[in-house]
Structures are given as structure tokens and as C-alpha cells.
Structure 1
């Protein structure tokens, strides 16, 4: 199939992850298919306005050749909006039925782009079809994952180019984001972006290191959790900074998507949450920890088990000490039955005293994903073959 028109639908609930993924996919597809018409339909604008500095608070706009349209605008102007040749339904969202009535007749392919998962069963469901029962439209499930038999992960060229640029011009980006850190060459600097978390074990272990550390606290939930720790321990916060022993914490302002991508490439480590930020951290090849969204019946721990299994298949299987310590930290960092400030059992000592070895293994895993599990390449191949 020659792709001429593509519509992506995204239903934003209460986070930046969904629109972050959609924004990234749209940009990459437009880069590949320069002459194709790409439209992104979103149910609300607030999150998009924050991750894209070019976005305006209007219902219909063109940014870098891509049209961003609200559901409200679509419903009010459905008479003059035709359905596209290919439709991407992001994360099982609800596409307005007035649009679908046109799509059943005029569109060729509906791709249900699902959430990232590391569980084995997704290999069996990837590229499976689902009956629609109307018109000529066919629905296909596209299952992102960490193996060659899945839909892969979004290793978009825009991000990979940005990684290379930051690495080759590190001083420029240090001046851009970290200029207030004195003697940065002697310190460990990293970002933390999490759900609610009790950071007492982290601060305990960081103060045992023989180096000072700077934490860039990102996101409201991370910052609130840290402020509560400081209040409990009678630590004063001056402006956007606080100091606790050897640790300096900087409460960082909100960054758009491109700025965040630059920042995580210039620091030494990244603690991240959700899906999109996690994959960005993986693709840096730097040390990272993943805070998974807490689910009922500890379902998030099953996801973590799946990821660790895929990770261990690729890295040095003889490094038993590394595997044992990293696996334990990931599990302890994530074990909880609800998002709260209950203190965990994690010990961060191994992580911060073995950053070089962790980075070495992470780069092996990153290179495998880029070469064998690139979602954009897989999506392009499937559409063109269809």
C-alpha cells in the first residue's frame, strides 16, 4: 500500500504518556512520508500544549506539516472531514462513531496500537486481525514489545539523532541545563521522574557515597514526595533547591518533549516512570530505573518480570552479580499495592557504585532494540506490504 493519508486518534486521560507516544509516532511517519497527509485527533489540548512548545490553544492547527485537531472540532465539522486511508487507534481509544461511519466504507486499515508490554503472550496477538463487521475496513492489533516477534519499541530517528548530538556536544548541553551545578565534573547528576514514592532509602544510600550527587526532580508527584521527606526531616527548601548531606536536589521546571530528551542524555542516570519516558531512558544507554504504574493484584510486577526476562536474554548472561543486584533493585523499587509513601526495601548502593557496568549492559540492550525491534520500521513495513 502506498500511504497517502493517515489519521491517529488519541484519547488523553490524565498523563503525558499517551500523547507523548502519539506525537512521536506522528513526527516520525511524517519524516518518512513527506508528501502524505498526517492528522492527529485528540480529545483535549492541555497535555499537548505542554509537551509541544509550538502548539497553540486552538482546535485546529498545523505544526511541522502535521494537523492537530480536537474531537470537538471533528464533531462540529464532520460533514467536510473524510476518513483517512489508514487509521491508528492509539491504546484502544474511542474514535467518534460519526467518523467511523465514514471509515467503514472509505478506509482500508485500522491499526490498534496497544500499550507497550514485555509479557510473552503479546507475540501471539501481534498483527492478529479483529472482525469489524462493517464495510471493507480491517482492524489489526499492533503490539509493542521487546522481542523481534512483537511490534518493537519507538526508536525514532528524531530521538536517536538528538542522542548523538548531545553526546557529541556535551558541554553545550551542560551549559544549557546544568550551568548552575558547581564542579559538575566531580559529581553524579541524574533525573528522577516517578509516581508517589518514599525516597528515604535513596537519600540514606546516596549519603554513603564518596561523591556528591545532584538530583533533578521532575514532575509534580516526584517533587511532592521529596518535599514531604524534607519537611519530615526538617530540611529547608530554598527556592527550587534543597540540600540533604551530600545530596543537592533541584526541583526542575516542566520541559517539553524535546528538552526532556536532551536533558536525559546529558546526565549520568535517569529514574523514569510510565512508558514513553521509560523507552527514552532505555535508548540513552545510560543507567536507569523504571517506576511502573501501580495496578491491582500486582499486575505491574508481572510487567516488570516480563521486561527483566527480555533484558536478561540480551545482556551478558555470565555477569550473575550484576543480574542479581539489578533484578532485586527493580523489584524492590516497584513493589507496592498502591501509590503511596510507604517506605520500601530497596538498597541503591550497587546501582550507584556500578554505574559504568550498568551502562555497558544497557547499551547492549539498547543496540539490540534499535537494530531488531524498531516499531517505526515495523509499522512502515506492515503498511507498505498490506
Structure 2
């Protein structure tokens, strides 16, 4: 089965992060041949360092990667399945080529992940092309059996468990990044977020708290807020570290996807942003909070609350209240003095919930498995 997967990079890493994971799953777990068309190879290379940005066509990890530039080259083959990621809009010439095929391809629009109720009713719906004899299907990732599922590799949770049980591997991991062992009673947190006043408030609370905290900070948009809040040099770079009260801050360079997974697996708490990191934090089986991408008219708050309804549904009421309060306060840029301490009071319960959560939401199969099944049914 040949799949042509098209991706326009919108927010640097999220869109291509999802597409790159999906492409690898379709190839390695389901035996598909995948051509991944990407318009921004520079951003792609930040999470896939082996990518050669000078090449318009290359084979990377079993996937044919091609630079999406207009017009598409004459040898742009039409796959049996064509996926446009996140409504990126295929070139008109390519749509015409699809319509000209003796057996027209299955055309899917892979949508953004949402936990909102309406997703179940829209997942899998067809949309006829206004001019060409083509039909596009909407494929919605989601948290329930009536959606397209969630991106997660078949062996990922077993790999996570093995990593979290291997203290020697974790020690070597931290040593390679210049991070010393945690002091007695200390914890490790990671922060990968958008710029936010809440981040400044949070790190100030950690620095003034009673517990030693090692904060791992990959280079991202939130770094200037953290540095300013702690009175640190604005030009601080990856590889540097600072001590501020109870907070030890370590600035990390960007890493590939496997490296970021290990960071999440190795921390006690992860603050993450966007869609791809949001899911990877859940697979880590550790407490996490989500900095969702801000939208006009606070539409992102509705999306956050829809997720929290799922995530907190089986939590003890006091924990659910604390988790919802912290995430909503962060995303409204109004972190209160008690929102973080309220979470700490229920930490053991949150750890148990976080550990059980991945198995619960993967019970109906991963996104890649559901996409393959959806495609097989419609191409019979």
C-alpha cells in the first residue's frame, strides 16, 4: 500500500512531529510505503537530525521524504491513500492527477486532535469535491472508540517501562546532560511551553518552595519568561545551568523525538505544549500539565476543558479539582498562589492515575491501526 502524506509546517515542530511519527508507524508496523511531502525541511531537521536539508528527495528511516515546493515535480506519484495533514490543501495539479487515476485514491484529511464531543459525529464523514470526481474523508484523532484514536507506537509503553526500571541508563542519561543526581527529597520537572506569565509565576514558586527541584528546560518560547522571572541573563544558552533558591535550572538543546520521550519518562512532572508533546507526556505515565495553543475568543479553553472531562473523570474529586484548577489557571495566564500547592497535596493519587491512563485510552487501538483499518474497508 502506497501512502502520500502531505505536511505544511505551521508551528515549527507540532505538525511535522505528528506526521513523522505516523509515517514511521505506517511503514514499520503496517508495511506501507510512505512518501512524506514536507514544505519546511529546516524545521523537520530539528527533530530528525539525520535529514539532509539540501536534498529534495531522500530515504530516511524507511520513508521517502520529499520537499514540497510549488509546483510539485512531474514524478510526484499519487498514492493509493493520500493524506493531507491538518487541512494543508493539496496542490490543484495533484488533485487533478488523483481524479485522473483509473482507481481513485482514498483521500483523508487528518485533523487536529480534540476531545470535544462533536468529533465523534464528524469522524469518518465524506466530503465530495466541488468540481472533481473525488471524495475526501475527515479523520479525527480522539480519546474515544468512535474517533480515530491516538498516535502511539506498539512497543512504546514496554520501552518506557524498561527505561524507567533501568536506573543505570537514567544515570548515564542525566550525566551526559550535565545534570547531577537529585538531592535527598528532590524532584525533576520538565518545562516545554509557549511564552506565558504563568511560567514566570510557577518557577518563582518553585524557587521559593521547600522542596529541591531540578527543572529541565528545553530551548523554546518560554525560556525568556523563565530567565526574566528568576533574574538570569537573557542570553543564557543551552548547556548552561543556574541555582535559584530551591530551584536548579538546566537549559537543554533541542533533541530528536526519541530523546524527548526519554526526558519525559525520566521526570516526575512534565509541562508540555501543543499536540505531539501533549500525547507523549501522557504515554510517559507521569503527572503532566498541558499548555494548549492559544486561539481567538478563548476557543482553546473549550478544547482544554473537553480533555479535562475525560482525563479527570475517574479521579478522586479533590484531585480532579486541583488538576483542572492548575491547567485552567495556567492557560488563562493567572496562576494563583495555591494552584500548585493544591496539586502537591494529592501527588500520590495523581501518580497512580497517570500510570493507568495510557492503557485506558489505547484500549481501542492506536491512530495508525485505526487509519489502516479505515483504509482497508474503503479500498476493498
Secondary structure of the 1:221 match is: coil
Report the counterpart of residue 126 of structure 1 in structure 2: 123
Displacement after TM superposition at 1:23 (Å): 0.1
Report the counterpart of residue 323 of structure 2 in structure 1: 326
Q: Is 2:345 aligned against 1:345?
A: no
Displacement after TM superposition at 1:210 (Å): 3.7
| Alpha carbons 1:194, 1:219 under 8 Å: kept | no
Structure 2: distance between partners of 1:92 and 1:330: 28
Report the counterpart of residue 81 of structure 1 in structure 2: 76
Q: Is 2:189 aligned against 1:197?
A: no
| Alpha carbons 1:191, 1:216 under 8 Å: kept | yes
Report the counterpart of residue 339 of structure 1 in structure 2: none
Choose between structure 1 and 2 for higher RCO, CA contacts under 8 A separated by at least 6 residues: 1
Instruction: Specify which structure has the higher proportion of helix.
Output: 1
Structure 2: distance between partners of 1:354 and 1:235: 35
Secondary structure of the 2:160 match is: helix
Report the counterpart of residue 140 of structure 2 in structure 1: 143
Q: Residues 87-110 of structure 1, C-alpha deviation per residue, up to 9 Å, x if partnerless?
A: 111000021111111112223210
| Alpha carbons 1:270, 1:286 under 8 Å: kept | yes
Secondary structure of the 2:253 match is: coil
Q: Residues 297-327 of structure 1, C-alpha deviation per residue, up to 9 Å, x if partnerless?
A: 11111011100111133x24xx111111111
172-181 or 50-59, larger mean C-alpha shift: 172-181
> Which ranges of structure 1 fall in alignment gaps of 5 or more residues?
337-342
Q: Is 2:226 aligned against 1:229?
A: no
Q: Is 2:303 aligned against 1:303?
A: yes
Structure 2: distance between partners of 1:220 and 1:274: 12
Q: Residues 75-134 of structure 1, C-alpha deviation per residue, up to 9 Å, x if partnerless?
A: 3522x2321110111000021111111112223210110001111111110000001145
Report the counterpart of residue 353 of structure 2 in structure 1: 361
Secondary structure of the 1:75 match is: coil
| Alpha carbons 1:114, 1:141 under 8 Å: kept | yes
Displacement after TM superposition at 1:213 (Å): 0.5
Q: How many residue pairs are counted as aligned between the two chains?
A: 370
Report the counterpart of residue 117 of structure 1 in structure 2: 114
RMSD: 2.3
Report the counterpart of residue 108 of structure 1 in structure 2: 105
Structure 2: distance between partners of 1:133 and 1:160: 43
Structure 2: distance between partners of 1:44 and 1:84: 21
Report the counterpart of residue 251 of structure 1 in structure 2: 251
